Amino acid sequence: MRTGEAPHPHPGSRSGWAVGERERGGSSFHASRRKRHGNVFKTHLLGRPVVRVTGAEHLRRLLLEEHNLVGVSWPQSVQMILGSSSLANAIGDIHQHKRKVYAQLFSHSALESYVPRIRQVVMETVREWCAREGPISVYAESRKLTFRIAVSVLLGSSPGEEKMIDLLTTFEQLTKNMFSLPLDIPGSGYRKGIQARDRLHEYFGKVIEDMLQSDAEYSTALGILIQSSKDHGMGMSMQELKEAMVELMFAACATTASACTSLVLQLLKNPEVLTKLRTDLQIKGFQSGSATPLRLSDFCHLRYLDNVIKEVLRLQPPVSGGYRVALQTFELGGWQIPKGWSVMYSIQDTHNTAPIFQQPDIFDPDRFANDLTKGKEARFHYLPFGGGVRRCLGKELAKLILKVFAIELATGSHWQLATRTLPKMLMVPVAHPSDGLKVQFSAQFSNNTPAAEVHLE
């Protein structure tokens, strides 16, 4: 069936689709559609039909049968800005081989080498937040934080402050225009995105040339990528390496900044969780600004911290879902999805409706104490990093950053909401507070003072 035609219900199934709807109203809108039409229903996005899918049984099939039933579907602007050789644009065997090359960036030894750099950037950032006289926008500042971490991890060192600000400004221009109409005309968002990409390519090109000409050991993420590509017989060209740098920056910054912001928000809303976290960290010897080096093994026994991070990602996954395109007409949930139609799978709605999560609206890290997400059956009930062949390669790095950030916040700062009410959460392009989350930080607190407060009127 051609795109744009009404889909057929599968013979013997329900009587019709939820036709003529638009993506509006947020979670309450989608909840009402699910109640009326089930976990597979038709809606519209930008005037085009989209099949919205919720539930582990459906997501399992979509994500495990990519390249067969469905394929990746990025807007043209994303394809052009990230580049033809990017991992996101790769399909089939090429995608599989590229993942093997990129996987070395997130091996145990690689993550171990990143810990000191991540910790240093986080410590400096939290210290700077606490020194501010006025409140900060946590989401905006978290984007700066994750950008600095990404630069440090990729390059091993940071450029001067002036250059760092210039790079951050350029990167923000790229991300702002990543999803734009592909109109290559002066002043268009697409043109601005391309220009930002070219400036980043120019900078990273010089860094790559210097690294290739030096005899230094490959201890940075960029160096590991170069060596891994050689080890797998896929030596990367200069253009491929530049595109890889931009893609890695894009993948690392936006989603992790979202999760950092959600962490602060949830600890503000749930001070009893923060008190329990602080106590657990203190018992296990963690102190803000400690000169004792951190190693990956130090995080293994921080079970409650791990559960807090898991619960943040369950309640507010940075990416609420993903898009695929039907490669052939197939049945899902009793409906035929026509070839060429877009399919949107919802991570957020799947978390909210998963039977393994009781009282899903409540922030409760202890729900993960019994490993309820372990095992094959529970695998697609909880997927903050996606699933299948495109499951996030950098998930362990993202969790590592979140843990270092949480430790530094919980052990070394006090914070208080600077607005009368908590902000609403927006889901596009990633989960973030509508006002950025205005918070006042301070380094001064005692054991009798809660580390975070919310004053609502």
Whole-angstrom distance, CA of residue 46 vs CA of residue 147: 31
Q: What is the mean pLDDT of residues 23-52?
A: 68
pLDDT of residue 9: 36
Whole-angstrom distance, CA of residue 270 vs CA of residue 191: 44
Whole-angstrom distance, CA of residue 109 vs CA of residue 105: 9
Quickly count: other Cβ atoms within 10 Å of residue 58's Cβ: 20
pLDDT tens figures, 308-355: 999 999 999 999 898 899 999 999 988 899 999 999 999 999 999 999
pLDDT tens figures, 263-285: 999 999 999 999 999 999 999 99
3-state secondary structure the chain: CCCCCCCCECCCCCCCCCCCCECCCHHHHHHHHHHHHCCEEEEEECCEEEEEECCHHHHHHHHHCECCCEEECCCHHHHHHHCCCCCCCCCHHHHHHHHHHHHHHHCHHHHHHHHHHHHHHHHHHHHHHHHCCCCEEHHHHHHHHHHHHHHHHHHCCCCCHHHHHHHHHHHHHHHHCCCCCCCCCCCCHHHHHHHHHHHHHHHHHHHHHHHHHCCCCCCCHHHHHHHHHHHCCCCCCHHHHHHHHHHHHHHHHHHHHHHHHHHHHHHHHCHHHHHHHHHHHHHCCCCCCCCCCCCHHHHCCCHHHHHHHHHHHHHCCCCCEEEEEECCCEEECCEEECCCCEEEEEHHHHHHHCCCCCCCCCCCHHHHCCCCCCCCCCCCCCCCCCCHHHCCCCHHHHHHHHHHHHHHHHHHCEEEECCCCCCCEECCCCCEECCCCEEEEECCCCCCCCCEECCCC
pLDDT tens figures, 405-455: 999 999 999 999 999 999 999 987 889 999 999 999 998 654 555 556 664
- pLDDT bin (cut points 50, 70, 90) of residue 32 is low
- pLDDT bin (cut points 50, 70, 90) of residue 292 is confident
Q: Which of 311, 317, 308, 424 is nearest to 359 (CA)?
A: 311
Instruction: Please check the confidence at residue 3 and state whether its pLDDT lies above 70.
Output: no
Instruction: Please check the confidence at residue 236 and state whether its pLDDT lies above 90.
Output: yes
- pLDDT bin (cut points 50, 70, 90) of residue 14 is very low
pLDDT of residue 46: 60
What are the binding residues for heme? 392
Whole-angstrom distance, CA of residue 27 vs CA of residue 408: 33
pLDDT of residue 449: 52
Burial class (CB in 10 A: 0-12, 13-18, 19+), 13: middle
Q: Is the backbone peptide bond immediately before 49 cis, with ω within 30 degrees of 0?
A: no
pLDDT of residue 372: 75
For residue 187, what are its two tokens? 């002043």
Higher pLDDT among residues 245 and 35, named by residue = 245
Pairing of strands 414-417, 452-453: parallel
CB 404 within 8 A of CB 118: yes
Q: What is the mean pLDDT of residues 247-258?
A: 92
pLDDT tens figures, 372-418: 777 776 789 999 999 988 999 999 999 999 999 999 999 999 999 99
Q: What is the mean pLDDT of residues 12-22?
A: 36
pLDDT of residue 251: 87
3-7, 117-121, 258-262, 365-369: segment of lowest average pLDDT: 3-7
CATH architecture, range 26-453? Orthogonal Bundle (1.10)
- pLDDT bin (cut points 50, 70, 90) of residue 24 is very low
pLDDT of residue 50: 87
CB 98 within 8 A of CB 410: no
pLDDT tens figures, 42-61: 877 666 788 999 999 999 99
- pLDDT bin (cut points 50, 70, 90) of residue 290 is confident
pLDDT of residue 158: 80
pLDDT of residue 410: 95
pLDDT tens figures, 177-233: 998 999 999 999 999 999 999 999 999 999 999 888 876 566 799 999 999 999 999
CB 149 within 8 A of CB 435: no
Instruction: Please check the confidence at residue 17 and state whether its pLDDT lies above 70.
Output: no
Q: Which of 298, 266, 295 is nearest to 284 (CA)?
A: 298
pLDDT of residue 5: 33
pLDDT of residue 7: 36
Pairing of strands 321-326, 342-346: antiparallel
For residue 366, what are its two tokens? 């202890």
- pLDDT bin (cut points 50, 70, 90) of residue 27 is low
Q: What is the pTM of this model?
A: 0.89
pLDDT of residue 333: 87
Whole-angstrom distance, CA of residue 431 vs CA of residue 167: 24
How far apart, in Å, are the Cα atoms of 330 and each of 205, 319, 345?
44, 26, 15
Q: Where are the domains of the chain?
A: 26-453
pLDDT tens figures, 169-187: 999 999 999 989 999 999 9
Instruction: Please check the confidence at residue 22 and state whether its pLDDT lies above 80.
Output: no
